[in-house]
C-alpha cells in the first residue's frame, strides 16, 4: 500500500470562542474511496447511493470524483490515464498523474468502499450542521428577529434531516420473483379505495359534499370501521381544516350522534388553520411530534388553501406534491388525501395542471345534482388496482341542540348507500321532498321501448342546464348512474326499463 500525503489544505472554522478548528473530514476515507473506484469502477453504483462530489472536503477530490462520474455516465473506461485526461486543465491542481497513480495504489482492493462513502457523507453532514448553526449564531449576533432566526434554523436543520433520510434510501432493484411478491403485498388503508402510503385526491365542484364524504372516510378509519362496505386499517387521523375548523366540530358531533358512537377516545386531531405546505409542512410535523402523533391518514381540506403557487404550473405543483411526499408520506408512512375543486369547464377532472394527475396514486371524483341530497363517488385513477364501481352517498340533516339564541344547531352527515334497495328508498324520499334532480328526472322519463334519443332530448329540455356541454354531462352522468344501479338498459338505441 502506498502512503499518501494527508497534509491537504483545510478551511478552518472559527468557533464562538474565537479559536480555529478544522471542520470534520476524513482525508483517508476520501483517498481510499477514490483509489477503490480507480481499481474497480463497477463499485460506483453502491458508492453513489451515499456520496456526491459536494460531500468531499478537498477541491482536488471533488474534481476527481466528478471526472470519474462523468466517465461512468458516458460508459467510458475509468483508470488513471482516462481520469487524468477527463480532468483537463484541472489536472495539475488535483496533483497530476502522480497523485492519481498514488490513489490507485493506496488501497489493496475496493472491498470496503461503501464504508468509505458512509464516512465521507457523515463528515459532510457534520460540516453542514456547523454551517447552519453558524448562520443562526451570526443572525443572532446581528440581533435579527428572534422568531425568524428560530424559523430559519428549523428549516435548515429540517432540510438536513430530510437529505440524510433520503440519502439512505437505496434504489430498489428487483428480480421477477421479487417483483411478483411485491405486487401481492400492496397494502390498503381502505381496501381497493385508498392505498396505504399514498397521495391521492378527492375532487368535485362546490356544493358536491366532498368535505362530508372525506370526513366520513376519515372517521371510519379512526374508529376502525368498514367504509363503503370495505375493510379499513384503523389508525390516527390528522385533519388540516385549512378553510377553518369552526364548523368541523358540528360535523364530527353529528356524525357520531347519527351512528350512536362515542368520540372521546377517537384518535382524530385537527389543525384549524391554513398552512402553506410547500414552505411550512415542517410546522405540521413539529406540531404532530409534540403530541406524539404519527397519523395513518392526513386529510388536507383544501389544496387551494394550503398551496401558494400557481395551480397551472407543473413545476410548482410537482414541488408541492414532493413536499407532501417527503414530509408526510415518507415520514409517517401514511396516506395523504387532498380535497380539491374540479375545473370550471371540465367538471370531470380536478382544476389545475396536468401534473396533478401525474403525481397522484389515486383520484376520487364527487358529482351531485344541486337539487338532490345525493352524491356519486367515482374512481378516476387507481395506480395499484382496478377502479371501483361508482357508488352513492346520501346526506341527511342531524340536530345537535340549540345555540344561545335558541336557534337549532344542525349539520349534514354523509352515509354510504350499500344496496340498490337503499338507493331506491333515497330516490323516493328525494322525489317526495320535491328535490328531484337529474337522476330523478331521467327515471321519470323512462318508458320501456322508447327511443333513447327521444329520452335524451326530453331530458335536455327539462334539466335546466344553461349550455349544451352542461346538458351533455348531466345526461351522461344520469344515464351511467341509472344503468349501474339497474334502472335501465339501452339496446340498439331503445330503452329497456328494469325496476323503475
How do the domains of the chain map onto residue ranges? 13-167, 189-415, 437-497
Q: Are 216 and 391 in contact (CB under 8 A)?
A: no
Residue-level pLDDT at 402: 83
Residue-level pLDDT at 50: 79
85 Cα distance to chain centroid? 45
Integer Cα distance of 194 and 355 in angstroms? 20
* Helical H segments across 269-362, by residue range: 277-290, 314-324, 330-332, 355-358
Q: Are 318 and 254 in contact (CB under 8 A)?
A: no
Model confidence pLDDT, tens digit, residues 236-268: 999 999 877 668 999 999 999 999 999 988 999
**Residue among 364, 297, 293 nearest 324 (CA):** 297
Integer Cα distance of 236 and 288 in angstroms? 11
Q: How confident is the model at residue 11 (pLDDT cuts 50, 70, 90)?
A: very low
Cα–Cα–Cα angle for 137, 143, 145, rounded to 5 degrees: 95
Integer Cα distance of 372 and 307 in angstroms? 31
Indicate the CATH number of 189-415 among 3.90.1150.10, 3.40.50.300, 3.40.50.2300, 1.10.3720.10.
Answer: 3.40.50.300
| Residue 418 neighbours by CB under 8 Å, 6+ apart | 228, 229
**Residue among 13, 26, 7, 15 nearest 123 (CA):** 26
**Residue among 206, 128, 201 nearest 164 (CA):** 128
The neighbour count for residue 211, using CB atoms within 10 Å, is 22
Helix (H) or strand (E) holding 61: helix 59-73
Angle between helices 468-484 and 438-445 (to 10 degrees): 70
Integer Cα distance of 145 and 152 in angstroms? 11
Residue-level pLDDT at 344: 55
Residue-level pLDDT at 48: 80
Q: Is the peptide bond before 432 cis (omega within 30 degrees of 0)?
A: no
Q: Which three cell numbers stand for residue 270?
A: 385537527
Asked whether residue 356 carries a pLDDT value surpassing 70, the answer given is yes
| Residue 346 neighbours by CB under 8 Å, 6+ apart | none
Pairing mode, strands 374-382 and 335-341: unpaired
Integer Cα distance of 370 and 344 in angstroms? 16
Based on its alpha-carbon atoms, the radius of gyration of the chain, rounded to whole angstroms, reads 31
Asked whether residue 189 carries a pLDDT value surpassing 70, the answer given is yes
Model confidence pLDDT, tens digit, residues 111-152: 788 888 889 998 998 999 999 899 999 999 998 888 888 888
Q: Say which CATH topology domain 13-167 has.
A: DNAb Helicase; Chain A (1.10.860)
Integer Cα distance of 445 and 455 in angstroms? 6
Asked whether residue 169 carries a pLDDT value surpassing 90, the answer given is no
| Residue 46 neighbours by CB under 8 Å, 6+ apart | 113, 114, 117
Pairing mode, strands 199-204 and 194-195: unpaired
Q: How confident is the model at residue 407 (pLDDT cuts 50, 70, 90)?
A: confident
CA-to-CA dists, residue 240 to 237, 360, 485, angstroms: 10, 19, 35
Amino acid at each position: 500500500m502506498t502512503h499518501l500525503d494527508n497534509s491537504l489544505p483545510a478551511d478552518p472554522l472559527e468557533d464562538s470562542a474565537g479559536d480555529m478548528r478544522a471542520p470534520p473530514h476524513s482525508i483517508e476515507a476520501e483517498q481510499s474511496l477514490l483509489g477503490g473506484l480507480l481499481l474497480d469502477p463497477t463499485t460506483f453504483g453502491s458508492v453513489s447511493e451515499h456520496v456526491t462530489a459536494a460531500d468531499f472536503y478537498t477541491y482536488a477530490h471533488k474534481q476527481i470524483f466528478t471526472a470519474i462520474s462523468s466517465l461512468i455516465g458516458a460508459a467510458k473506461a475509468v483508470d488513471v490515464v482516462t481520469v487524468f485526461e477527463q480532468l483537463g486543465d484541472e489536472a495539475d491542481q488535483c496533483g497530476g498523474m502522480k497523485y492519481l497513480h498514488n490513489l490507485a495504489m493506496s488501497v489493496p482492493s475496493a472491498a470496503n468502499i461503501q464504508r468509505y462513502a458512509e464516512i465521507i457523507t457523515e463528515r459532510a453532514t457534520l460540516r453542514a450542521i456547523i454551517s447552519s448553526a453558524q448562520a443562526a449564531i451570526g443572525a443572532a449576533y446581528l440581533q435579527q428577529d428572534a422568531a425568524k432566526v428560530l424559523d430559519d434554523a428549523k428549516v435548515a436543520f429540517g432540510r438536513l434531516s430530510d437529505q440524510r433520510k433520503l440519502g439512505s434510501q437505496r434504489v430498489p432493484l428487483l428480480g421477477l420473483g421479487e417483483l411478483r411478491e411485491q405486487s401481492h403485498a400492496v397494502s390498503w388503508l381502505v381496501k381497493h379505495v385508498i392505498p396505504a402510503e399514498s397521495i391521492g385526491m378527492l375532487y368535485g365542484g362546490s356544493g358536491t359534499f366532498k368535505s362530508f364524504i372525506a370526513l366520513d372516510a376519515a372517521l371510519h378509519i379512526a374508529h376502525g370501521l368498514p367504509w363503503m362496505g370495505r375493510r379499513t386499517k384503523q389508525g390516527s387521523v390528522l385533519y388540516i381544516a385549512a378553510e377553518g375548523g369552526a364548523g368541523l366540530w358540528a360535523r364530527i358531533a353529528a356524525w357520531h350522534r347519527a351512528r350512536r358512537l362515542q368520540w372521546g377516545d377517537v384518535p382524530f386531531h385537527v389543525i384549524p388553520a391554513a398552512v402553506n405546505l410547500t414552505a411550512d409542512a415542517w410546522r405540521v410535523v413539529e406540531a404532530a411530534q409534540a403530541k406524539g402523533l404519527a397519523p395513518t391518514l392526513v386529510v388536507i381540506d383544501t389544496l387551494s388553501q394550503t398551496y401558494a403557487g400557481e395551480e397551472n404550473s407543473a413545476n410548482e405543483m410537482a414541488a408541492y406534491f414532493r413536499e407532501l411526499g417527503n414530509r408526510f408520506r415518507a415520514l409517517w408512512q401514511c396516506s395523504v388525501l387532498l380535497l380539491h375543486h374540479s375545473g370550471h369547464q371540465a367538471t370531470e377532472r380536478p382544476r389545475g395542471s396536468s401534473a396533478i394527475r401525474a403525481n397522484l396514486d389515486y383520484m376520487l371524483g364527487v358529482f351531485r345534482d344541486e337539487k338532490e341530497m345525493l352524491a356519486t363517488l367515482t374512481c378516476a385513477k387507481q395506480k395499484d388496482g382496478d377502479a371501483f364501481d361508482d357508488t352513492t352517498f346520501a346526506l341527511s340533516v342531524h340536530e345537535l341542540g340549540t345555540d344561545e339564541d335558541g336557534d337549532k344547531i344542525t349539520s349534514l352527515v354523509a352515509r354510504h348507500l350499500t344496496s340498490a334497495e337503499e338507493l331506491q328508498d333515497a330516490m323516493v324520499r328525494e322525489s317526495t321532498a320535491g328535490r328531484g334532480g337529474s337522476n330523478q328526472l331521467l327515471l321519470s322519463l323512462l318508458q320501456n321501448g322508447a327511443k333513447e334519443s327521444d329520452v335524451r332530448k326530453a331530458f335536455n329540455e327539462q334539466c335546466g342546464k344553461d349550455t349544451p356541454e352542461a346538458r351533455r354531462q348531466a345526461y351522461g352522468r344520469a344515464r351511467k348512474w341509472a344503468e349501474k344501479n339497474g334502472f335501465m338498459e339501452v339496446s340498439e338505441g331503445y330503452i329497456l326499463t328494469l325496476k323503475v
